[in-house]
Every structure is written in C-alpha cells, then in structure tokens.
Chain A
Amino acid sequence: GAGVSQSPRYKVAKRGQDVALRCDPISGHVSLFWYQQALGQGPEFLTYFQNEAQLDKSGLPSDRFFAERPEGSVSTLKIQRTQQEDSAVYLCASSPTSAGRKDTQYFGPGTRLTVL
C-alpha cells in the first residue's frame, strides 16, 4: 500500500523566500506530525495534527513557520522569509489513531530544504 509521501523531495530557496512543503499521509490516518532533521541529527518535533485540528505547535522554531491540514488529510508546512538556519530535512509522519494511543508513526521520505 502507499506510504507517506512528501513533495518536493528537494527545495532550494534564496534567503527571504517563502516555501511550502506538502505531506500526503497514509489514507485514513488520524494523526499527522512534522519533524525537522538537521544534518547528522535525529528528527525533532515541530507540530501535531489530529484530523484537521492542530493540537500542538510547541516545536515550531519561530512565527515564520506555519502548518495546516484543512481537510484532515494533506498537510502543508509553510516557512516564510526563509533563513539559512532553516536548512534541514523536513519529515512528515502519520499514525492511524489519535496520538494518545501511542501508535507507530510512519515517516515519509522528507523534503530536503537548502536555503542559500
């Protein structure tokens, strides 16, 4: 079956540009997570959606980062006025039930963002 997909796989942006990263979770999955992975590090939590509701955005590093999941399926992570420190791999993960159930999170391949 189809897993989590993300697009684009690679994005190069000039400093100050806005970018939008897309995540298509596994069909029917209730929970959706965004993580940021710096080079050589483990992923770090950014934000969590349960269906269309953004229940936790405590990991977003600044107000330049914005995420949405308007219909409870596809999600978009938007970064405004990108900075060099935003360069990282952005990972999306989904799980079948609400996060309180501690189900396995299945990750997509990530989008590698490079800000010049």
Chain B
Amino acid sequence: GESVGLHLPTLSVQEGDNSIINCAYSNSASDYFIWYKQESGKGPQFIIDIRSNMDKRQGQRVTVLLNKTVKHLSLQIAATQPGDSAVYFCAETPGYDYKLSFGAGTTVTVRA
C-alpha cells in the first residue's frame, strides 16, 4: 500500500491497495479531530472522528490514528476504491473552542 510519513499534497494509489494520509497539527490544546472527504463540487463529507482520549478508532474501511506526542494524525483507507478519489482534510478543534481548523488537504487519486 501507499504510505507517507509527512503530509504530501497529493497521493496516487493503486486500486485495491491500502492508503495512508497524514496530517500534522500545531495546537497542543486540540482535543477533537475529524477527517473529511471532499469530492469536486461538493461540500466536505464526514468520514471519522477521534477525541484526544483515544489513539485509534476504526470505521468501515477506515482507521484514524492519533499521536499526541508528535501532534500527528493519520487516516488509513483499506482496499482503496475508485470512489475514494477526492481531497481529504483533517480538522481539529481545541477544548476551549468549536471552530474547526482545517489542514491543507491531500488529493487522493486511485489508479485502476
């Protein structure tokens, strides 16, 4: 599968492989993190969230990992499908706030 240790703006992955999208955050007070998927011409679509009292959470074909020590968040997509092609954003919000702060986004392209 494809994986990157640092945030990259684009990721190309073979259909059927696993993909890993990384995100670094800067606010050590952030305690709620969300991954969104945004397809062209659409609004962000909720994928999965995680709170700071957890370090891993699994959904359907997706897993989010949180490493608070290095302020790093990752999204793993299993068996990537053509419909997974989109821009993926991580978002965070600190305990004292509710405004989502979005990362730069990673464009995922799935190769047939």
B14 vs chain A, min Cβ distance (A): 25
Chain A min CB distance to B29 (Å):
13
Nearest to B46 among chain A residues (CB) is A104
Number of A-B contacts (CB under 8 A): 55
In chain A, positions 59-115 with a C-beta closer than 8 Å to chain B are: 59, 91, 93, 99-100, 102, 104-110
Interface size on B, residues (CB 8 A): 23
Chain B facing A: main interface SS: strand
Q: Which residues of B contact A (CB under 8 A)?
A: 31-32, 34, 36, 41-46, 49, 51, 89, 91, 93, 98-105
Instruction: Tell me the bound Cα distance from A40 to B10 in angstroms.
Output: 12
Q: Is the CB of A48 within 8 A of B43?
A: no
Picked from B42, B46, B51, the residue with its CB within 8 Å of the CB of A106 is B46
